[in-house]
Amino acid sequence: MTLTTLGLYESNFAVRLATATQEHYRAEAERLASEMTLANYLRHVALRIQQEESRCLRHNFSEPDVMNGVHELITKIYRDLLDSGFKELVDKNDVDSLSTLHEFSIEANEKESTAKFWGDYIKVYSSLD
């Protein structure tokens, strides 16, 4: 029997799962963002999203309860990520990481921030050619 069939998921488990997941990923984001390059961090987050989606299916968890926590890896430090590694991704022509960054900018509701970084990059570095 699952928590859902017992009627315990929503009343006893869902809120605790969501809270614990958010706390876990907030701490992980703060720790890893300073230890990893932006490209490696983006790959790590993409992997974590896949792992959590799989976990939700495997255990019949409500995906929003878990995935909102995973988004802590993106949303809380998104602008810091841009500050720390955007130029490097563009300079290295790391299309895969830039594509992942774009996807995350949509999830984090940070399209404007990303557009500003692109604009600033073009202004500064196109004048150097």
pLDDT in tens, 93-124: 999 999 999 998 888 888 998 999 999 999 99
d(CA 52, CA 29): 15
Who contacts 20 (Cβ-Cβ below 8 Å, separation ≥6)? 69
pLDDT digits (tens, 9 = 90+) for 48-100: 888 888 887 887 776 766 677 777 778 878 888 888 899 999 999 999 999 99
Is this structure's pTM higher than 0.75?
Answer: yes
- pLDDT for residue 71: 78
Q: Are 89 and 104 in contact (CB under 8 A)?
A: no
End-to-end CA distance of the chain: 65
Percent helix, strand and coil across the chain, each to the nearest 5: 80, 0, 20
Q: Are 82 and 114 in contact (CB under 8 A)?
A: yes
Structure tokens given for 107: 């999830």
pLDDT digits (tens, 9 = 90+) for 9-56: 566 677 787 788 888 888 988 899 889 999 999 999 999 888 888 887
pLDDT of residue 129 exceeding 60, the answer is: no
What are the contacts of 7-11 at 24+ separation with CB within 8 A?
9/60, 9/62
d(CA 110, CA 107): 8
- pLDDT for residue 81: 85
- pLDDT for residue 1: 55
Structure tokens given for 32: 């890893």
- pLDDT for residue 128: 67
